[in-house]
Every structure is written in structure tokens, then in C-alpha cells.
């Protein structure tokens, strides 16, 4: 599954039976294993990633990166975003990809949006908040890349989550 919005994550968890616990029924435990190697920051419930200016369609490569390092990068990216919000009076410059069906091409378009500091969350903060809302989940970050084969330690980490 791709990185969902917060609303999409809630729908997925509901579908899997990890609804916030009610007195009438027990929720199922869901283990979320995030294999993404890129730093993701949620803004107003939508996930965003950092891209290189000259390669806006390509993911940033972090071959061999560990989960704690990605989470540290996300925390740092959040700090940078908050600094930018403060610098520009609550405004943030975003970019999105727009596809033109008549030309079969995509363009990257910039736009400004009003953002509050509380609108910015790391992936760990998002899933911690969902857990606090009563969703029975365990979140783990185990980044894997296409550029290298999974290591035995990666497989062990995934297996450990299951047990």
C-alpha cells in the first residue's frame, strides 16, 4: 500500500478491524511495517516527501538507511517546515504533479498554502496519535530499497514484528 493520508489510514485500519476499541467488541491488533526509505511528513493530514529540485519525479535514494535514521530525518524535516512557516507568516510553498491527459504529460506546479504549526506531523506522531485514539496498532519503520537485496537483519526485524 502507498503512504496513505491520515483519513485513509483510519479507513484501512477500520477495514482490517483495528477500530478504536468499544465496550461491545475487541479490536484486532494490526502491525504496520513501513518499508519506505524516504522521510515523510504529514501536513494537514496529507503525506509529503522531499524531492530534489532538478528531479521532482524521482525518490531520494538512501540505500542501507535504518528506521531510526529515517525517523530522525522526518523530525528534522518537520523542524525545517515549521521554521519556514514562521518565516513566511504561516504560508508554505508546496509542489504537486498535475497530469494533462491531452498531452499525456505531467508538470510540477507550485502553490502557497496557509499552514499552522500543529498541522505538521511526522509519521511516528501520526501513528502514535492513532494508537492514542484507540486503534490497536504497532508501527515499525524498516526501510527497504530496490537498490539492494533485503538483509537478514531486515527479515529478522519484520519477523520480530509478527511475533
**pTM greater than 0.75:** yes
Nearest to 130, CA basis, from 4, 35, 37, 1: 4
Of 123 and 106, which is predicted with more confidence?
123
Q: What per-residue confidence (pLDDT) applies to 24?
A: 52
Q: What are the Cα distances from residue 66, in Å, to 30, 54, 63, 157? A: 22, 26, 9, 11
Strand partners, 94: 111
In the chain, pLDDT over 70 holds for what percent of residues? Answer: 84
Q: What per-residue confidence (pLDDT) applies to 133?
A: 93
Query: Which of 123-127, 132-136, 140-144 has the least mean pLDDT?
Result: 140-144
User: Which own/partner contact pairs does 84-91 have at CB distance under 8 Å and 24+ positions apart?
Assistant: 85/115, 85/116, 85/117, 85/120, 86/117, 90/114, 90/115, 90/116, 91/115
pLDDT (tens digit per residue) in 62-117: 777 888 999 999 999 999 999 999 999 999 999 988 999 999 998 999 999 999 99
Q: What per-residue confidence (pLDDT) applies to 46?
A: 96
In the chain, beta strands by DSSP E: 30-34, 40-43, 46-49, 91-100, 105-114, 120-122, 137-141
Report all structural domains of the chain as residue ranges with CATH numbers, in order of start: 6-162 (3.90.190.10)
Q: Which residues 6+ apart lie within 8 Å of 69 measured at CB? A: 62
Amino acid at each position: 500500500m502507498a503512504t496513505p493520508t491520515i483519513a485513509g489510514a483510519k479507513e484501512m485500519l477500520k477495514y482490517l478491524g483495528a477500530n478504536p476499541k468499544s465496550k461491545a467488541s475487541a479490536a484486532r491488533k494490526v502491525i504496520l511495517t513501513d518499508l519506505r526509505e524516504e522521510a515523510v511528513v504529514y501536513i494537514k493530514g496529507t503525506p509529503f516527501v522531499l524531492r530534489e529540485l532538478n528531479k521532482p519525479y524521482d525518490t531520494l535514494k538512501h540505500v542501507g538507511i535504518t528506521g531510526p535514521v529515517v525517523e530522525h530525518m522526518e523530525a528534522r524535516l518537520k523542524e525545517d517546515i515549521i521554521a519556514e512557516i514562521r518565516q513566511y507568516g504561516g504560508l508554505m510553498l508546496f509542489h504537486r504533479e498535475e497530469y494533462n491527459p491531452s498531452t499525456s504529460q505531467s508538470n510540477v506546479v507550485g502553490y502557497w498554502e496557509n499552514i499552522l504549526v500543529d498541522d505538521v506531523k511526522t509519521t511516528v506522531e501520526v501513528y502514535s496519535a492513532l494508537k492514542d485514539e484507540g486503534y490497536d496498532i504497532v508501527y515499525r519503520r524498516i526501510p527497504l530499497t530496490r537498490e539492494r537485496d533485503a538483509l537478514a537483519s531486515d527479515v529478522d526485524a519484520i519477523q520480530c514484528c509478527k511475533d
